[in-house]
Chain A
């Protein structure tokens, strides 16, 4: 009767390759660090991204209006390219007309798979 062979020793990480997370092997630590970072970025984006994201304030003169005022173009004060957009007016406001000076804020409006740009008119306001 012979004795069973002794189990072979299992390799262990040397002190020089030990992870800063203690007993967690360093490759797993790298993966975990990446996952934590990615979660933080995604979470921050989810917190900051809404359905309406305000943009810059624009002032200019209306150059063209469609039949019902749902589409306008304006020439920004101080020059620059013509801006064509969809105006959002406050309740009680009169429809925009060609030659009118307006001030408003551009915003990105998310709707399903699409993101459209809208122009929230702040001046002129309601009568």
Chain B
């Protein structure tokens, strides 16, 4: 009998040790690493990894608990984190704010394009599968052409702010970008069109208490003296599993962005004279159902205003 019990006991002990060690390693904070993208408000997030793309962009990975966020940018950019919890711990959310200030010079204005960076390339560098990046974000490459990812660029991209997120014990995945197009420049009197898109999904197939997205939003805030000339969405839009396409106009051309969304309630997100965006509210109908929020804005960046902008991304999920 003891010959049977001994190996059984050893097996049980090994399983217990393995499960404890994996639990400990999952919750143990990783050692912070040097990072070129500065942290503004950390709120528990630390940089745990940094790489540089062939085009010279920096990818920093930040982590807090089971939330992992990757941001792509250039040295001098700043990122802040605002985690939240509500509804007796059933709702979990995080807001990320990425700020960039660029010199207002012609030499710097073409820096992004000259480096060879693209929206899809940035997302792939962040770990998004290329097919997903092209399908979801290819339209951002030239500001709304029919097949822009492959078409000739008419309005070059001035800059992008992209990030990816994984949270909810690895079940919630999302990625989003702001893309900035400089549409007019006379001296330091500049105009921009921006498109914003964030896409996310849950792959949680749990029968009990699956994690599902309930809010997804993206907005861009400009520094003082910039003026939002036009924005979309301008009011709530409701649709059931249709492609939402929105666009804005400016004296120097328009821009549009679209996304297929199910059970969509897309609304403006806290609009001011220097800020606009879009936020989706709802609940995912099942696992692997991509939800999205889109927004667009045109901005006058007069000589008195700095070229300084901040993309903010909010993502909230609930344990049903």
Q: Contacts A66-B229, A66-B231, A71-B230 known; A115 to B267 CB distance under 8 Å?
A: no
1/0 contact trace for A94-109 toward B, CB 8 Å? 0000000000000010
B238-A115 in contact (CB<8A) = yes
CB B214 to nearest CB in A, in angstroms, measures 17
Q: Contacts A71-B231, A85-B234, A118-B235 known; A64 to B271 CB distance under 8 Å?
A: yes
A82-B270 in contact (CB<8A) = yes
Q: Contacts A66-B228, A67-B229, A113-B242 known; A85 to B235 CB distance under 8 Å?
A: yes
**Complex contacts, A64 vs chain B, CB 8 Å:** 228, 271-273
1/0 contact trace for B2-16 toward A, CB 8 Å? 000000000000000
**How many angstroms from the CA of A118 to the CA of B234 in the assembled complex?**
10
1/0 contact trace for B218-259 toward A, CB 8 Å? 000000000011111011111110101000000000000000
Count of inter-chain pairs, beta carbons less than 8 A:
56
CB A116 to nearest CB in B, in angstroms, measures 5
**Complex contacts, B228 vs chain A, CB 8 Å:** 64, 66
* Interface residues on chain B, number (Cβ under 8 Å): 20
**Complex contacts, A85 vs chain B, CB 8 Å:** 234-236
B239-A63 in contact (CB<8A) = no
CB B303 to nearest CB in A, in angstroms, measures 19
**Complex contacts, A123 vs chain B, CB 8 Å:** none
Check: B268 CB closer than 8 A to any chain A CB: yes
CB B272 to nearest CB in A, in angstroms, measures 6
Check: A93 CB closer than 8 A to any chain B CB: no
**How many angstroms from the CA of A116 to the CA of B231 in the assembled complex?**
15
**Complex contacts, B236 vs chain A, CB 8 Å:** 85, 116-117
Check: A70 CB closer than 8 A to any chain B CB: yes
**How many angstroms from the CA of A117 to the CA of B235 in the assembled complex?**
6
Which label, helix, strand, loop or mixed, suits the secondary structure of the A interface? strand
A63-B237 in contact (CB<8A) = no
**Complex contacts, B272 vs chain A, CB 8 Å:** 63-64, 73
**Complex contacts, B237 vs chain A, CB 8 Å:** 114-117
Check: A84 CB closer than 8 A to any chain B CB: yes
Check: A86 CB closer than 8 A to any chain B CB: yes
CB A99 to nearest CB in B, in angstroms, measures 12
1/0 contact trace for A34-58 toward B, CB 8 Å? 0000000000000000000000000
**Complex contacts, B231 vs chain A, CB 8 Å:** 66, 71
B273-A86 in contact (CB<8A) = no
**Complex contacts, A66 vs chain B, CB 8 Å:** 228-231, 234
What is the chain A residue whose CB lies nearest that of B230? A66
**How many angstroms from the CA of A64 to the CA of B229 in the assembled complex?**
10
What is the chain B residue whose CB lies nearest that of A116? B237
12 additional A-B residue pairs with CB within 8 Å, beyond A84-B271, A85-B235: A63-B272, A66-B234, A71-B232, A73-B271, A82-B271, A108-B238, A114-B237, A114-B244, A115-B239, A116-B236, A117-B236, A119-B235
Write 25 A-B pairs (CB below 8 A) sorted by A numbering.
Answer: A63-B272, A66-B228, A66-B230, A66-B231, A68-B230, A71-B230, A71-B234, A73-B271, A82-B270, A84-B234, A84-B235, A84-B267, A85-B235, A86-B235, A108-B238, A114-B239, A114-B242, A115-B238, A115-B239, A116-B236, A116-B237, A117-B236, A117-B237, A118-B235, A119-B235
Residues of A within 8 A of B (CB): 63-64, 66-68, 70-73, 82, 84-86, 108, 113-119
9 interchain residue pairs of minimum CB distance: A71-B234, A84-B268, A85-B235, A115-B238, A117-B236, A113-B242, A86-B235, A117-B235, A114-B239
